[in-house]
């Protein structure tokens, strides 16, 4: 063997393996192979913040195999992900596997396609220690805060709590929003709409603006003011005072970056951030799109990026597609270039389809439904971002009646431009953004009144954060980086500082109390401005403008002083977290039942324990047919769209529609093994059969009925090109083609069984 390529992901390794010749062996580290220990801090602060890394438990066998591969290789290409974590993993591989310096080559690629991969192999570089130090600084900061601050929370609140550099700031953002909502005092205001009849008999709506003589906006604060205006104009004709018509260009949005992809997937597809990133990772690493398309291909560029840069090659491909598919008028005179933020990491491009530009409809049959939705979303957004602007015809009519000014405005689409492919969704559509067409009118004309509609309103409090709006806020304030947004949200929910209420993120009692305590004793940790400054400091390390030690020293001095002061403070009493109330009423004493944690999870209990020992199972019943033991999931029924729940049955757990028995759709729990279905290109998954047996099936079942008792592999038969299988209970590979009868002993343990 001449060349060894080490990647992070087995799926990506399988894709790249097809692009390189027989002189390359491609293997996967399956993420980090060493890290700080879990049993201790692992950072010697007195010795210049020296990190003591250990091999991750369970990776010993993999490390030994990688060491053997390294010894056989003339060159070792470290092709881990093109970000801080990937650079750090490459550095850890060099140290753990003891790779000689002269053997090591670092390669990165923004898309997993044949040309990009081969070009990267031809242009290797050294490991960038500035990027490694930026990752180490982040890891050490998080470890110090977690290990030194968490005991304070155990002492003051309860055991098992944790604090984090970013999670604490994110929790405070949600708590602050909740406090704003509670403190909000609604204010009354009124609107007056009048329905008018044009000269050709068409009805349209004009809205009250203010006084006609001053032309300024007049707020109507109460019913008395509204009645006075209505009394003056009721039944009167309206005079067309002014007409304005024009054209307006509406420009497309730029291609996706990590944050905007997560936001749009949340709005359009109702996907959680973690799910969006998981699917995007699959599309980036490679999907088998059929032998006619050359097998496995990475379908999108790297999905962790905050850059809007697009390569010339991608721009040319988009231009050719737009002109050939839609026409020359749909492509602008010059290619669109989007301004990149000053603090953006410009190492990667924006998220876009990979260079081959497979149209979504052409490869839909090879993708899972969720993969197709995300790929189409990325495709549509990218193509639209390179297209001509939409041309809108705007029309505004100002009308007067008894000294009051009313206005009717609207627009129609004259040329759709990019809107024929894609339109960005918004959290809340404004009235003026809705397409409306108002009738023709002439200046000086009098129009008849049809109906008068006064309406009372109250100002609304600020909306709770959703995943989409929180990601947007984190990005705007510089908290976290593209690779961390999904993890931040997952962490604060899993640690029960925040909970989901529909799409909204709501702080728990624990989250509010912890935030209050942290704000008093450690104001910097929960201050998002301070958190953003630390992120900028990490960027400075990556760019070579600052040392890792200087940032850690600067942080730790102030942090240590705050920690010592807080631990010695005898005035701060231990805090008891109020229990979470339920909507259930105890049938014995009438008390409102609360949530308790037990050996088998959460349950509802009477708050008057031990006087009243009533308990009940705690379930969120979406429908009357959801059983008490059901566990709600974020999956939807593929037949009726209802929520899917996790149930226990005779042969183990499975997913079922919550509307059973009206809908009897079920789905087995399965585990992907990193192999593509030879029939349709879907994922091969491991499933449970009867009597605790297991078998292999296609994830697209029942659309694809492929199944096998023996394990499929990514290896192809050298005789007929078919898929090779591992014989159950045996140590050999074989081809199922009866005419072929190929068989060989396994030389090494299959990576999917490790």
Q: Give catalytic residue positions.
A: 302
**Could you tell me how far CA 352 lies from the centroid of its own chain?**
16
> What does the block give as tokens for 614?
């009533």
SS3 for 87-119 is HHHHHHHHHHCCCCHHHEEECCCCECCHHHHHH
CA dist., res. 515 & res. 672, Å (int): 39
- 210: which 2 tokens? 């203010």
577 CB burial (10 A radius; 0-12, 13-18, 19+): middle
Helix runs in 213-289, H state only: 223-233, 258-269, 273-285
How, if at all, do strands 203-211 and 732-735 pair? unpaired
Give Cα 285 to chain centroid, integer Å: 17
The answer to whether the beta carbons of residues 754 and 62 sit under 8 Å apart is yes
Report the 10 Å Cβ neighbour count for 603: 16
Structure tokens given for 65? 């195999």
Residues with Cβ < 8 Å from 94, sequence gap 6 or more? 78, 104, 127
Can you spell out the DSSP letters for 688-714?
Answer: E-GGG-EEEEETTTTTS--EESSEEEE
Nearest 5°: phi and psi at 532? -65, -35
Residues 470-475: contacts with CB under 8 Å, at least 24 apart: 470/170, 470/173, 470/174, 470/505, 471/259, 471/262, 471/263, 471/266, 471/273, 472/259, 472/263, 473/173, 474/170, 474/173, 474/259, 475/259, 475/306
The strands making up 24-28's β-sheet, listed across from edge to edge, are 24-28, 3-7, 75-78, 104-106
d(CA 143, CA 471): 24
Answer for the pair 511, 493: CB distance below 8 angstroms, yes or no. Answer: no
Q: The tokens of 41 are what?
A: 């801090």
CA atoms within 13 A on the CB side of 39: 3
- Helix segments in 291-407, DSSP class H: 312-325, 360-363, 369-385
Q: Residue 572: is it exposed, middle or buried by C-beta count within 10 angstroms (0-12/13-18/19+)?
A: middle
**ω before 727 within 30° of 0 (cis)?**
no
CB 28 within 8 A of CB 13: yes
Return d(Cα 713, Cα 667) in angstroms, integer. Answer: 24
**Cα separation of 298 and 115, whole Å?**
11
| Per-residue CA distances from 494 to 167, 487, 508, 577 (Å) | 11, 10, 12, 17
Element spanning 725, H or E: strand 723-726
CA distance 656 to 357: 37
Positive or negative torsion for Cα 665, 669, 672, 673: negative
Strands 24-28, 3-7: parallel, antiparallel or unpaired by DSSP?
Answer: parallel
Bridge pairing between strands 711-716 and 723-726: antiparallel
Is residue 514 a contact partner of residue 155, using CB atoms and an 8 Å limit?
Answer: no
Contact 83, 304 (CB under 8 A): yes
Structure tokens of 487? Answer: 């993890």
Which residue has tokens 């002269």? Answer: 102
């Amino acid at each position: 063997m001449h060349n060894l390529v080490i990647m992070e992901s087995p799926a990506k390794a399988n894709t790249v393996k097809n692009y390189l010749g027989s002189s390359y062996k491609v293997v996967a580290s399956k993420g980090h192979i060493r890290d700080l220990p879990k049993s201790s801090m692992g950072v010697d602060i007195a010795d210049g913040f020296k990190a003591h890394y250990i091999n991750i438990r369970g990776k010993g066998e993999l490390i030994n195999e990688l060491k053997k591969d390294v010894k056989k290789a003339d060159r070792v290409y470290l092709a881990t992900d093109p970000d801080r974590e990937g650079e750090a993993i490459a550095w850890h591989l060099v140290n753990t596997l003891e790779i000689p310096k002269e053997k090591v080559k670092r390669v990165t690629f923004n898309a997993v396609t044949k040309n990009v991969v081969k070009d990267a192999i031809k242009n290797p570089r050294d490991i960038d220690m500035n990027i490694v130090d930026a990752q180490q600084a982040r890891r050490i900061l998080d470890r110090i805060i977690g290990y030194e601050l968490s005991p304070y929370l155990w002492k003051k609140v309860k055991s098992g709590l944790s604090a984090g550099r970013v999670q604490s700031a994110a929790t405070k953002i949600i708590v602050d929003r909740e406090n704003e909502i509670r403190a909000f005092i609604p204010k009354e205001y009124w609107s007056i709409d009048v329905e008018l009849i044009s000269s050709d008999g068409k009805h349209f709506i004009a809205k009250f603006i203010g006084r006609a003589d001053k032309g300024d906006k007049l707020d109507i604060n109460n019913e008395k003011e509204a009645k006075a205006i209505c009394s003056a104009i009721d039944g009167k004709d309206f005079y067309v005072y002014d007409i304005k018509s024009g054209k307006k260009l509406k420009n497309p949005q730029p291609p996706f970056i990590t944050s905007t992809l997560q936001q749009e997937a949340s709005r359009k597809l109702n996907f959680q951030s973690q799910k969006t990133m998981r699917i995007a990772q699959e599309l980036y690493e490679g999907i088998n799109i059929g032998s006619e398309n050359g097998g496995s291909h990475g379908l999108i560029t790297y999905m962790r990026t905050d850059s809007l840069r697009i390569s010339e090659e991608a721009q040319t491909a988009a231009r050719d597609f737009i002109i050939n598919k839609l026409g020359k008028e749909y492509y602008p005179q010059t290619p669109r270039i989007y301004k990149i933020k000053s603090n953006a990491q410009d190492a990667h491009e924006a998220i876009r389809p990979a260079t081959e530009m497979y149209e979504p409809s052409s490869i839909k049959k090879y993708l899972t439904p969720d993969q197709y939705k995300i790929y189409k979303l990325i495709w549509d957004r990218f193509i639209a971002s390179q297209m001509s602007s939409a041309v809108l015809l705007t029309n505004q009519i100002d009308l007067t009646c008894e000294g009051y000014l009313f206005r009717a405005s609207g627009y129609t689409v004259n040329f759709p431009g990019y809107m024929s492919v894609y339109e960005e969704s918004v959290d809340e559509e404004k009235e003026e953004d809705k397409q409306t067409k108002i009738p023709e009118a002439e200046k000086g004309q009098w129009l008849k009144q049809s109906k008068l509609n006064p309406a009372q309103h109250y100002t609304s409090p600020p909306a709770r954060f959703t995943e989409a709006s929180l990601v947007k806020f984190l990005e705007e304030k510089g908290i976290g980086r593209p690779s961390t947004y999904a993890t931040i949200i997952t962490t604060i929910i899993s640690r029960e500082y925040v909970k989901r209420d529909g799409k909204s993120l709501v702080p728990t009692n624990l989250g509010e109390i912890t935030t209050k305590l942290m704000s008093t004793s450690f104001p910097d940790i929960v201050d998002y401005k301070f958190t953003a400054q630390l992120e900028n400091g990490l960027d400075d390390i990556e760019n070579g403008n600052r040392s890792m030690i200087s940032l850690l020293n600067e942080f730790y001095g102030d942090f240590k002083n705050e920690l010592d002061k807080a631990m010695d403070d005898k005035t701060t009493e231990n805090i008891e977290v109020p229990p979470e109330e339920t909507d259930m009423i105890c049938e014995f004493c009438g008390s409102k039942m609360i949530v308790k944690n037990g050996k088998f999870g959460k349950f509802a209990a009477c708050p008057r324990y031990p006087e009243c020992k009533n308990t009940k199972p705690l379930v969120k019943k979406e429908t009357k047919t959801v059983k008490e033991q059901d566990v709600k999931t974020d999956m939807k029924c593929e037949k009726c769209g209802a929520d899917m729940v996790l149930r226990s049955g005779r042969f183990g757990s499975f997913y079922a529609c919550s509307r059973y028995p009206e809908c009897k759709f079920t789905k087995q729990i399965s585990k992907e093994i990193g192999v593509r279905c030879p029939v349709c290109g879907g994922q091969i998954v491991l499933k449970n059969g009867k009597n605790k047996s297991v078998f292999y099936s296609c994830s697209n079942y029942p659309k694809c009925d492929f199944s096998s008792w023996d394990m499929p592999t990514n290896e192809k038969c050298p005789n007929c090109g078919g898929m090779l299988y591992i014989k159950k209970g045996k140590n050999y590979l074989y081809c199922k083609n009866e005419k072929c009868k190929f068989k060989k002993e396994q030389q090494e343990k299959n990576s999917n069984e490790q």
